[in-house]
Structure 1
Amino acid sequence: MVFLPRRLLPFLSLAVILVILPFVFTSKFQLSVLLLVGINAIACVGLNLLVGNTGQISLGHAAFFAIGAYASAILTDDHGWNAGVAAGAGLAASCALALAVGWPILRLKDNYLAMATLGVGLVIYLVLTHEIALTGGPDGRSVRALAIGGFRLRGEATWYWIVAGALLLSVWAAENLSSSPWGLALKAVHGSERAAAAVGINVHALKVAVFVFSAALATLAGSLYAHAYAFVTPDVASFMHSVEFVVMIVIGGLGSVYGGVAGAAIVVVLPQLLAAARDYEQLVFGLMLMAIAFVMRRGLVPTLAGAIGGRR
């Protein structure tokens, strides 16, 4: 029997699932839904490190997602930049903004921190809505297809594999970070900031660092979204989009890297399955989320992992 390290087994399982899915769900609509799951999962992997591992709430994370999306759209379409360079510029701008706003607001706690991050998201949303000449305003704008060596990357099937690869890299990075001494320091900060500071951890710098890292993954997800769907609107920076990210990580399991992936799948796929309910779709969706929250209070992935471990 081949021995697999404990952290490698779930990663390989996720990789196998991602390889199998496009052969099971082959229609354009189904692949489009899978694309959205993967893109949201990338953002949730980073956000879960911030909220689940470090205990710092963010209600404006969609702002960084929007920066990635609009940077790719504007720089490639209006200025003719290479898509990779445009995505890198958006990533740099997003990280700079996260550092600039994160340094002061992460000194706040609880409700005040949530309000401050919400304010950041609202400012970005208003800018995208009112700068019509640059962003297209409320109607949004189209995005030029990404080209590599003269070959244009189009179609749900093509973008599925790109997003799946980016998701695996994001999960690998988050798993390594959460299992490293840096990740243990994050959990110490979550448990007690005073105790963490007493053993020599620079609490504030650590919180800012994970805030920037989570913003970077959200920005990457936004860039992928812009090119995969070839259209962006200010709704990607809306408060509700930020709330969706938080709901995803709570349902999937706070502090679990794979919880962000599972939560994204549930929140994106479940409404599609309930489409037949028509007028009652939102009601049924809300009741099902409440049921999951009550039955699996630690989230889907930690609860299932605990149950499997208990049986063993």
Structure 2
Amino acid sequence: MTNVAVLALLLACLPLALTSGFHYHLAVLVGINATIAISLNLLMGYAGQVSLGHAGFVALGAYGTAILSSRYGWPVPLALVSSAAGAALIAFVVGRPILRLKGYYLALGTLGLGMIIYLVISNEVWLTGGPDGMPVPVLELFGGRLTGPADWYWLIAVMLLLVFWLSTNLIHAPLGRALRALEGPEAVAGSVGIDVPRSKLLVFTLSAAIAALMGGFLALYAGFISPSLADFLHSIELALMVLVGGLGSVVGSIIGAALITLLPQVLTVVEEYETLVYGLILIGVMMFMPRGLLSSIIDLWRRIKR
């Protein structure tokens, strides 16, 4: 049974364990974050390009959907797709100079991009509502409204499954093989005929488009958005999902997203230390599980079997 079939089976059976609307709410958030984490893992895990501003693309999709639908009267599905396309275009244009940077400079470049998006959203009150945020209309599909977490669960499950399938196939496609070659020295990849700048730009654009699309879904689900969607901590949370699950692991992205999304429920008694806990987890993963939680568990299981 393929990983896609296993995931489809799990998503179909999961509602049997969801006994309340709150459980469905958590499942929806995990699904949205897992889909975004998969897109970020394509960039960080396979292309080897660090991004500390990915939340900016999530916010672009969210605010684009809200602005086009509520202020300009666009149909919500059209606003959703157009916002994702707009974020992809921005990523394509901005990615050309940013992806020429290496190492820490690339991390700072993506961080700067995320900060610019955050500042624009926070300061352009006439368009975005500024720090107060703005409401988002209800999503209507096939003549019906998605109003509750149980309805949203199936839509997000389908999106997660589609992006999982797309990413799995992409990894084994020529572009995926080119991305894996980028994990080593770029000069070596270029010497075997791989167009390094083009490969990096394509995956950066695709990653941004998926993140923006899910940002739009997140806005429609929440019914309200604020600039915190684009802030630095949100970008760190997304990167942490990828690192915890394991760089270069699509399945690990889902596991990492589930752990980091559900962690605040455990930390409700020490909410003021949430950022500290995230930092400790990041340090612990980098020191003791550099390949991520899933790979570390698999390695441990293999050692036990021996």
Please give the range of the TM-score, normalised by the shorter of the 2 chains. over 0.9
2:32 maps to 1:33 = no
Verify: 1:168 aligned to 2:161, yes or no.
yes
1:114 is aligned, of 98, 107, 113, to 107
Q: Aligned to 1:152, which of 131, 145, 154?
A: 145
Query: What is residue 191 of structure 1 aligned with on the other side?
Result: 184
1:41-80 residue CA offsets vs partner (Å, 9 max, x unmatched): 1111011011111111111111110111111111111122
Distance 1:64 1:149 in 2: 28
Distance (whole Å) between structure 1 residues aligned to residue 302 and residue 8 of structure 2: 22
What is the distance in 2 between the residues matched to 1:15 and 1:57?
30
Tell me what 2:97 maps to: 104
Deviation at 1:277, TM superposition (A): 4.9
TM-score (norm 1): 0.92
- Alpha-carbon distance in 2 for matches of 1:127, 1:291: 34
- How far did residue 136 of structure 1 move? 1.0
Is the partner of 2:244 in helix, strand or coil? Answer: helix
Q: Which residue of 2 aligns with 1:94?
A: 87
Residues of 2 paired with 1:289 and 1:112: CA distance? 20
* Partner Cα distance (1:122, 1:279) in 2: 23
Partner of 2:256: 263
Aligned pair partner of 1:213 in 188, 202, 206: 206
Find the counterpart in structure 1 of residue 128 from structure 2. 135
Question: What CA distance in whole angstroms lies between the structure 1 residues aligned with 2:105 and 2:94?
Answer: 14
Question: Alpha-carbon deviation of 1:287?
Answer: 4.6
Q: Is the 8 A contact 2:240 2:282 kept in 1?
A: no
Find the aligned partners of 1:72 and 1:41 in 2 and give their Cα distance: 20
Preserved CA contact (<8 Å) 2:98 2:109? yes
Q: Distance in 1 between matches of 2:276 and 2:126?
A: 39
Cα distance in 2 for residues equivalent to 1:121 and 1:221 = 17
Contiguous gaps of at least 5 residues in structure 1: none
Aligned to 1:68: 61
3-state DSSP class of the match of 1:80? coil
The superposition leaves residues 212-262 of structure 1 with CA deviations (integer Å, 9 ceiling, x where unpaired) of: 011011011101101111111111011111111111100000011111111
Greater Cα offset, 258-267 or 292-301: 292-301
Give the match for residue 242 of structure 2.
249
Is contact 1:146–1:227 with CA below 8 Å preserved after alignment? Answer: yes
> Structure 2: which 5+ runs fail to align?
none
Q: What's the offset of the Cα at 1:106?
A: 0.6
Deviation of 1:12 (Å)? 2.2
Match of 1:12 in 2: 5
Q: What is the CA-CA distance between 1:302 and the residue it aligns to?
A: 1.9
- Quick one: distance in 1 between partners of 2:65 and 2:244? 30
User: Cα distance, 1:112 vs. partner?
Assistant: 1.0
How far apart in 2 are the matches of 1:213 and 1:284? Answer: 31
> CA-atom RMSD, angstroms?
1.9
Structure 1 residue 232 and structure 2 residue 202: aligned?
no
> What is the TM-score when the length of structure 2 is the normalising length?
0.93
